[in-house]
A and B are shown apart, each in its own frame.
Chain A
């Protein structure tokens, strides 16, 4: 565990560090202000598409699925791994300004049919592989087969919270009208009756995390499929322009060192200022453990 700057310096001088560069080149057309899941875009690391049996949970891990490399497991050595730096840059004007969040993707429920208006129970065959109590975990709804978005379909989710209480229900959220796969479908909906939600679906009042998802109910049907993904937001960064790299050093920026769990599957979500089709988004992370 890093307790002070001396520990940090010693850890880095001791080689307990890992550097990883990443590059994403989305092919999907995105829109200004609508969050997008870059884990579904080509580049490095290779994309993943939430492809598995419908409505049954699947866990994601670095050792089996990839993601942005962050070094090997360290808990077995009695250590803990931290995010030291997180940087990004892009020469693509349409991308900036752009907010990005580095997430640990833990569990997803694939191919949920948006045309079904009955309650759809979801099966938690695989449980959270990390952060098992669910504290701080959020749900994002990722479009994996194009909707029409007509009528701003609304839905809510029932889930088990981080206190282990099942039957918790999210507020009713609405879908945006974006058609591209990878869209976080509840961000910036045009339904005036529903507030914009950002990347994550709001939880029931008082809840601070999600342990599993129990089911989903669409109020109006649409074509299309979504995957519900449970993630841990780790760190955010803002690309302000195309003429300078942006680097986050949590220890000096926030007096904080976000923890990277062993075998975490790291990916990025972003909120661009326009279409990212053909964009080049390149960055890096640096981890340290002690």
Chain B
């Protein structure tokens, strides 16, 4: 306690207010989990999800960025529609900032049109109306995590308290979960069945031993028809390889036409879990992932395996009433926030939640 008071007195503290919206196009269903990282608001939407190559490891920190580009003379903007006439490299995602000769500063993709990331001729809606003739247009994705005070090096940073509330109608009850996003694997081969191996493996930048690390699946492009089971092969935090998502009582079942931002296997019924993929008996975390196996085609869409470390949760009971956690007095106290942590919220909808419902709150950190 003395160290905490000394740190606060010395200014080694940071307050970060946030405001995230529920899904922009699809009402959230009661009893399902959602990833708010891709929702609009502050911090801006996470556009890293869905932007990397198929099945490739993409490490994530709060400063991670990744680009996509149309081909030379292959991109244009007419009004609020960006057309990737001839695709060049990478994958365009919602939230990407666009740049190029004549592109108005601050332009970003607000939603998908016919584009799915890398399809030539695909269209994307942008926030600023303008006319940009054919040229190379580059998109830059950012991880968009909640600011938590910057790197502290040899010191340890902790979460002191956090709050969440909503004044939008029918958003309560809800349960919010704060997590640190460690890595993402974009999966575009969604019609492929059988084990698909991940590539470019690297240790997690934080929680390298995997203790407490979990995984979830979230679409970045709405999924098509199909409700396959899914099984993840991983190495647990005791470094035992060949661990598999357990088949009993049931493998997770992907929701058909799962919308962007939804935890793809969450909900009610057989094969529904949330928010994380189940692990084998006795496992306490995921050190690395090896492959993923969908039992049937999902027809279309882009799925993403997100690797994360859950940090805290809090309930929202009543519209307009703030919920606050005091982590100094909770047991165990003060979850640690590592340098580079990319903090986002997941949400369990206790009620049908209208599109773009706004959630707000704050976090306080301190380090010593």
Contact = CB atoms under 8 A, between A and B. Distances in A.
Given A19-B313, A91-B318, A284-B175, A249 B331 contact: yes
Contacts of A244: 317-318, 321
Interface stretch (A69-77, A177-185, A195-203, A223-231): A69-77
Grouping DSSP codes into helix (H, G, I), strand (E, B) and loop, the B interface class, with mixed when no group exceeds half, is: loop
Contacts of A144: none
Interface stretch (A9-17, A157-165, A205-213): A9-17
A16 B284 contact: yes
Interface in A57-73: 62-66, 69, 72-73
A222 B331 CA distance: 51
Given A15-B213, A62-B249, A72-B280, A23 B318 contact: no
Interface string B327-359: 000111000000000000000101100000000
Contacts of B33: 21
A242 B318 contact: yes
Grouping DSSP codes into helix (H, G, I), strand (E, B) and loop, the A interface class, with mixed when no group exceeds half, is: mixed
Nearest to B172: A91
Interface stretch (B88-96, B105-113, B270-278): B270-278
Given A13-B212, A15-B237, A87-B315, A8 B281 contact: no
Interface string B235-253: 0010000000010110000
B350 A282 contact: yes
B313 A284 contact: yes
B175 A91 contact: no
Contact of A245 (B248, B269, B284, B317): B317
B335 to A, nearest CB: 9
A21 B274 contact: yes
Contacts of A63: 248-249
Interface in A242-271: 242-245, 247, 249, 251-252
Interface residues of B, number: 45
Contact of A282 (B175, B313, B330): B175
Contacts of B281: 72-74, 76-77
A76 B282 CA distance: 8
- Which has the most chain A C-beta neighbours within 10 Å: B33, B284, B321, B351? B284
Given A64-B249, A77-B282, A9 B332 contact: yes
A43 B316 CA distance: 19
A14 B207 CA distance: 10
Contacts of A65: 249
A66 B331 contact: no
Nearest to A90: B173
Contacts of B278: 69, 72
A101 interface: no
B268 A74 contact: no
Contacts of B269: 46
B177 interface: yes
Given A9-B332, A15-B211, A243 B272 contact: no
A242 B315 CA distance: 13
A139 B339 CA distance: 53
B30 interface: yes
A46 B313 CA distance: 23
A280 B332 contact: no
Interface in A85-117: 87, 89-91
A219 interface: no
B267 interface: yes
A44 B317 contact: no
Contact of A91 (B31, B211, B317): B317
Nearest to B248: A63
Interface in B141-180: 172-175, 177
Given A72-B279, A91-B318, A280-B173, A13 B332 contact: yes
B30 A23 contact: yes
Contacts of B272: 44
Contacts of A237: none
B212 A15 contact: yes
Contact of B210 (A5, A15, A243, A282): A15
A-B pairs, 8 with minimum CB distance: A15-B212, A282-B350, A15-B285, A15-B284, A72-B281, A245-B315, A89-B317, A9-B332
8 contacts: A12-B212, A17-B284, A23-B30, A45-B268, A46-B270, A90-B317, A91-B173, A284-B313
